[in-house]
Structure 1
Amino acid sequence: MRKKVVKFSILPLIAGSVFFSFSTKEAANLDIFSTSKVENLEYTVISSEDYVPVEEESPRIIPVLGKSYTGFKEALAFKESRGNYKVINEFGYMGKYQFGKGTLNLIGIKDTRLFLNSPELQEAAFYANASRNKWILIRDIKRFEGKVINGIEITESGILAAAHLAGPGSVKKYLRSWGANAFSDAFGTTIGFYLKKFGGYDTSFIEPDKNARAVAFQN
């Protein structure tokens, strides 16, 4: 889901981001709902006309967090938005991890304004979406992990990052065609690029869950 970021607002302090980074699965506050099937394996772009771009600010520097789950999501966030919870790009993708409205609906988030104003909800959304993608791609992870496609060693974290970019359906097609069925987003970013850039992280913290939902904490 990475898209070119065009506007920035005042960014949260790194300390706040690290606080959210080290939350447990319970702290991600996932609420499980029953569904009969997995739908919409591709992501949906929303119109940027629904939102007012935020003010520009200098990019932040990503903290060095190693190959942990926290390192994985913070590296991905830096690529997506420079870690900005408030940003909306020209295609309408929102927040620190650049979610589209269609994906947010799949993980139980209907109020996009609440989403933009809640770092806690955005962190829960990232985990829920990764959990759902891992469930969809679990067989492909087992089949292709350690294999080499187009010169890239396939890892679980690379697969999950690519699913964040392109949707799990596109990643399935890429892997099962051994890289022949390619995908690139509106800015030319490819599945292969994400497979390589975000390979080798420890994403065992993410548990596969078909029905993962993200819900904001209520004070």
Structure 2
Amino acid sequence: MTKKTKYVLATVIIASFFSTGFKSLDNFDLDTNTVEGFYIDDSEVFEPTVATEKVETEKTFFKLPYTGKSFIAFKEAVAFKESMGLYHLINSYGYMGKYQFGKTTLKGVGINDSSEFLKSPELQEKAFRALVSRNKWELRNEIKRYNGKVIGGVKITESGLIAAAHLGGAGSVKKFLRTGEVFHDGYGTSIKSYLQRFADYDTSGIVANKNAKVKV
């Protein structure tokens, strides 16, 4: 491993401490590029940039937390929590890319080639938008009914609901709203934490679409 690569990975470890709730990096091995639950591809490039419409699909190793409440801010915040913005990251459950997609979800948005998906930042960005559109449709009634209300001590917002659905699926979000039952993923992250963390972002520009797919 080159000194540059070790520096990049060490930087990621340090940065992770500033992302509360991010999956633990206590067992990171600089010689194998591995951390418990993840594998990081050597081909990633370190570019600490703030995303803009112009660069949002460019391949980056790490994006600093984006400020503001725009949709770009929303997707970069989700990406930072999911993978620290790593397009080539695969976790121990097989979830892939910057936004940690599973193969079933990828097929749902029209992507059947997971290898091509991992190699294409543009495809990953389009897949995320398509999934947001689908989740917004799935939760359209819940958004109307619960937006602005406090459930289980958490303020419910459109962006929070969409982010929670990204983590645990729309069904888990609906169950929480109805019964208070909280879904946790394999790493112990709860949809309730996503409802809180990603509240009040502007996702109004994304059209709710049951059949949203990526055109490849």
Bin of the TM-score, shorter chain as denominator length: 0.7 to 0.9
Shift of 1:134: 0.4
Q: In the aligned structure 1, how far is the partner of 2:164 from the partner of 2:194?
A: 5
Q: In the aligned structure 2, how far is the partner of 1:192 from the partner of 1:16?
A: 27
Please report the RMSD computed on the Cα atoms of aligned residues, expressed in angstroms. 2.1
Would the aligned equivalents of 2:133 and 2:210 in 1 still touch at CA under 8 Å? yes
Instruction: Detail structure 1 runs of 4+ shifted over 3 Å in the superposition.
Output: 2-5, 11-18
Counterpart of 2:139 in 1: which secondary structure?
helix
How many residues are matched? 177
Pick 1 or 2: higher relative contact order, CA cutoff 8 A, min separation 6. Answer: 1
Partner of 1:146: 148
Distance verdict in 2 for CA 1:78–1:194, change over 3 Å: same
Shift of 1:65: 3.3
TM-score by length of 1: 0.75
Higher Cα radius of gyration: 2
TM-score by length of 2: 0.76
Partner of 1:193: 193
Counterpart of 1:21 in 2: which secondary structure?
coil
Partner of 2:202: 202
For each residue in 1:96-119, what CA deviation from the matched residue of structure 2 results, as whole angstroms up to 9, or x when unmatched? 000000000111000000100000
For each residue in 1:10-35, what CA deviation from the matched residue of structure 2 results, as whole angstroms up to 9, or x when unmatched? 1364559533539xxxxxxxxxxxxx
2:119 counterpart (117, 120, 134) = 117
Q: In the aligned structure 2, how far is the partner of 1:87 from the partner of 1:11?
A: 12
1:171 counterpart (149, 170, 173) = 173
Partner of 1:7: 39
1:137 counterpart (129, 139, 142) = 139
Shift of 1:143: 0.4
Shift of 1:206: 1.1
For each residue in 1:178-214, what CA deviation from the matched residue of structure 2 results, as whole angstroms up to 9, or x when unmatched? x2x2210001111110000000101101110011001
- Give 1:112's aligned amino acid: S
Distance verdict in 2 for CA 1:88–1:3, change over 3 Å: farther
Share of identical aligned residues, percent? 53
Would the aligned equivalents of 1:93 and 1:100 in 2 still touch at CA under 8 Å? yes
